[in-house]
Amino acid sequence: MKRKLIIPLLLSALCLQSYAQVGKANRDLLQKADESLQFAARQYKLMAKHLPDTVLPKTTDAKTGKLATSNSRWWCSGFYPGVNWYLFEYTKDPAFKAEALKRQALVEKEKNNKGTHDLGFMMFCPFGNAYRITKDPAYKDVLLTSAASLSTRFNPTVGCIKSWDHGTWKFPVIIDNMMNLELLTWASKNGGGKKYAEIAKIHANTTMKNHFRPDYSSYHVIDYDPATGAVLQKKTHQGLADSSAWSRGQAWGLYGYTMMYRETKNKQYLAQAKHIADYILNNPHMPADMVPYWDYDAPNIPNAPRDASAAAVAASALLELSKYTDKATGNRYWGAAEKMLTSLCSPAYLAKEGENNDFILMHSTGSLPHNSEVDVPLTYADYYFVEALLRYKQWAK
């Protein structure tokens, strides 16, 4: 009995020791982080003023240059209210809380949506932040209902949550799905029972087994036989080729396994996150400014489009991952995140006030193979950028 108590305490002590060893503040970046967050606040006040009442912002229409919006069923619907919660947390300005409440009210009905794997994005980004900041039990109920809906997509024979119901796939699972597991781990710790955490762990284990190549680059899509769990195909949908490394997919995996280590303290997840981080940071096609090309194997590097969203997701993940490693490795990850954020805070990627359809970041790529959302702002790039800046301010010493 005593041994069971001692082990978690030792793990906690090790994490705290790592935390103390990394996170040395770059004063210039701290100033830029504040300036960028203040800019983000001004920009999103303009967004609130210009955005029609019944929709959510998505991107810029590449053909018209106008704001492209979505309804609540689009997978990105939770990011805008989520950013507003972050900005409320930073500024304490009640206007951001009001906007977050207004927009997440549009999304709340999706808690019952069993036709998407993206409920983590859609529900946890707004309602998770809402509950964390306000402790209103109504938001907890929304999240628990969302977790129940998401769990219906889990197939125990496959060991994964099904991603899509469209196309010719049998049981497609995409690397992005690692991001939706936090909703399930949270639910287990907040009254939902052990089953949700078990689903998250099984999905993470199956993904670790089948989604990654020996160099820890990932496939985008694994198609399974739902009856046997056998792997049928290893493909891509948004990357250059089945064998290429789609940059945002690498970032999703990095973030997902870092989160899973935080939630479980399973050292296999920590090792996986470190391997993915090293693949990203050692990649010969990573540009000097640390904002990845849309695919690490894009044929027209250095003229290939960038993906600021991949940098934002990776930076946020690397900051957290640096807390869980030894000093030298942690400093490396922290420093890489600083370089990414320094670039994203620069005029090369940060929009000018009143421009960019009121989004914060420029130069993201949604799906180049489909000529969709290429070199445009994306709502999730803004979300993870703001999150990373807040993490930096919180953890820098």
Q: What single string gives the DSSP state of each residue in 341-395?
A: HHHHTSTTTBPPTT-GGG-SB--EEEEGGGTEEEEE-BHHHHHHHHHHHHHHHHH
Annotated ligand binding at 367? The verdict is yes
**pLDDT of 5:** 37
**pLDDT of 24:** 80
- Catalytic residue flag (residue 358): no
Instruction: Give me the catalytic one of 141, 176, 307, 358.
Output: 176
Q: Which two tokens stand for residue 29?
A: 């970046």
**pLDDT of 2:** 35
**pLDDT of 10:** 34
**What's the CA dihedral at 58, 388, 130, 165 to 10 degrees?**
50
Annotated ligand binding at 252? The verdict is yes
- Domains of the chain (ranges; CATH) run 22-51+245-397 (1.50.10.10)
- Catalytic residue flag (residue 176): yes
**pLDDT of 46:** 98
Cα distance between residue 331 and residue 145, in whole Å: 39
User: Longest Cα pair distance anywhere in the chain, in angstroms?
Assistant: 65
pTM: 0.94
Q: What amino acid occupies position 395?
A: W
Please name the helix (run of DSSP H) or strand (run of DSSP E) that holds residue 96, with its range, or none: helix 94-107
The residues, any chain, with a CB within 8 Å of residue 367's CB and separated by 6 or more, are 237, 238, 373
| Residue segments in the chain with a per-residue pLDDT below the cut of 50 | 1-20
Instruction: Give me the catalytic one of 61, 118, 278, 297.
Output: 118
Annotated ligand binding at 176? The verdict is yes
Alpha helices in 266-357 (DSSP H): 267-282, 308-321, 327-344
Annotated ligand binding at 85? The verdict is no
Annotated ligand binding at 54? The verdict is no
**pLDDT of 40:** 98
**pLDDT of 25:** 82
**pLDDT of 23:** 78
Upstream peptide bond of 284 is cis (omega within 30 degrees of 0): no
